[in-house]
Amino acid sequence: WKWGYDYLTGEGEGISFLSELSTPRAQQENRESKGEHYLLEVDNPMVVPVGKKVRILLTANDVIHAWWVPTLGVKQDAIPGYIRDAWFTIDKPGTYRGQCAELCGKEHGFMPIVVEAVEPGKYAQWVSQQKAKAAEAAALEGAGTEEATESAAAEGEAGAE
């Protein structure tokens, strides 16, 4: 159970990532005291610029979920086979937290939502960093594929002799 974010238009077009719970397992298993944002921490927050209208499109590939961030006034169901939308504008930089609000299965309590609202300049920097990471990952993946193809071709030539 996790949220996937794909930036479809605008400055961030092409950015895509998963956002998963990052609360330490020791806290979840009561071996450590709970942090301030227990079960509301993620590894990759959704980042948006302040002062811009943001449209989110929601769907699901398994069961019904609900993207809910109370301080933004947004709660929208994500339903398999349907595309739903919601809009919001954040005027103040900060961290806005929510969670899945639809009882969706055994991992329901582990689907936090974190939206980071940043100034436009900081958003542009974040976009550049994300695109650079994606380009680096694609280059590494391409290099590995190219090496594997060359290796297979060499093996094929050696076997043909």
If residue 145 lies in a helix (H) or strand (E), which one and from where to where? helix 120-160
Quote the number of domains for the chain: 1
pTM check: above 0.85: no
Candidates 74, 96, 95, 71; CA nearest to 84 is: 74
Neighbours of 61 (CB within 10 A): 9
In a domain, 148, yes or no: no
Segments of the chain scoring below 50 in pLDDT: 161
In a domain, 154, yes or no: no
What is the pLDDT at residue 13? 95
In a domain, 132, yes or no: no
What is the pLDDT at residue 159? 52
In a domain, 145, yes or no: no
What is the pLDDT at residue 138? 85
What is the pLDDT at residue 28? 86
What is the pLDDT at residue 100? 94
In a domain, 159, yes or no: no
What is the pLDDT at residue 51? 98
| Structural domain of 30 | 3-119
In a domain, 143, yes or no: no
Task: Tell me the C-alpha distance between 18 and 42, whole Å.
Answer: 10
Q: Is 46 exposed, middle or buried (0-12, 13-18, 19+ CB in 10 A)?
A: buried
In a domain, 124, yes or no: no
What is the pLDDT at residue 67? 97
What is the pLDDT at residue 147? 58
Where residue 85 sits, what CATH number does that domain have?
Answer: 2.60.40.420
What is the pLDDT at residue 23? 87
In a domain, 84, yes or no: yes
